[in-house]
Structure 1
Amino acid sequence: MRSVFVFPRLDQVGTFAVLNALSPGQNAPWLVEDVLYCWLETEDGSLYLGWEKEAVERLISAIGHRPAWAIEIEVYGRVDGTEQLRRLVLTLLEHGGVVVDDYSDHAWTAGEIRSHTRYEGLTFFDFRGSYNRLI
């Protein structure tokens, strides 16, 4: 399972409206494009559980505050899911915000995702590149 945390500038109500439109009749978790499972994570729940202190500090530096909530999106290992994830993340970041993936501590913006920006040699959600580093 691979995951990302989206910290949209849009408020929760607006974010839920986007997810509800993309996943009619199913929410919390939302199933988008039949391969992406999405749900709300909150700071008083398990949002930062397992995060390294430095990763949280980089997120705060990128957006100016410690977010109280995020949308977690999971892609299960049996499907690639890269294109579906890119579409969904870019939709959720349409009004600003950032996303953090499992492969770097970088807070990715929509512009960086669109332009395939590299951070420490990886692009957004670059599970292949990350894997290749390990072998």
Structure 2
Amino acid sequence: MRSVFVFPAGERAETVGSLDRHLSEQRDPWTVEGNLYIEIDDAEIGYLFSDWDSDDVAALEAAVGHRPTWAVQIDISGRIDGTAEVHRVVELLLQHGGVATDDYSAHPWTLQEIKSGAVNGGLRFFDFRAYDELNRE
């Protein structure tokens, strides 16, 4: 299972409402075609940041301007590529600002960077193929 964390600008209730409108078939977790599992993770009562490297948290705080207290966690099944599906959901969640992180780089990605295919450290957002190539060498 691969994971993406999205830190949308705005209120948590707005994000939940958006997920409810766009993914109305199931909630807790929301799903996309049975291959993406989406839920809200909370720093107070959940596990957000519990296994994050302190440098990664610092990079996120610098990008957002504060330490977020919640995030949308997207878990992606290994049965599918998932790139198109992840991009669709992340674009929905970041349309009003914010950043996303993935399992492959510590970089907090803006929507503009994701859409443009920007490269950071040799990787694009959710670039598991390039990550695997870089780590084989």
Q: Normalized against structure 2, the TM-score is what?
A: 0.95
Structure 2 residue runs without a partner (length 5+): none
Aligned residues: 135
Q: Deviations over 1:23-70 (max 9, x none)?
A: 214111000243211001001120001100000000000110000000
Equivalent residues in 2 for 1:1-135 (5 A)?
A: 1-44=1-44, 45-135=46-136
Structure 1 residue runs without a partner (length 5+): none
State the alpha-carbon separation in 1 of the partners of residues 56 and 23 from structure 2.
Answer: 30
Are the aligned partners of 1:5 and 1:72 in contact in 2 as well (CA < 8 Å)? yes
Find the residue that maps to 2:37 and give its secondary structure.
strand
Find the residue that maps to 2:72 and give its secondary structure.
strand
Q: Deviations over 1:51-104 (max 9, x none)?
A: 000000000001100000000001011101100100110110000000010000
Find the residue that maps to 1:38 and give its secondary structure.
strand
Find the residue that maps to 2:5 and give its secondary structure.
strand
Let me know the Cα RMSD of the aligned residues: 0.9
Following superposition, the deviation at residue 21 of structure 1 comes to 1.6
State the alpha-carbon separation in 2 of the partners of residues 105 and 114 from structure 1.
Answer: 18
Q: Normalized against structure 1, the TM-score is what?
A: 0.97
Q: Where does structure 1 differ by over 4 angstroms across 4 or more consecutive aligned residues?
A: none
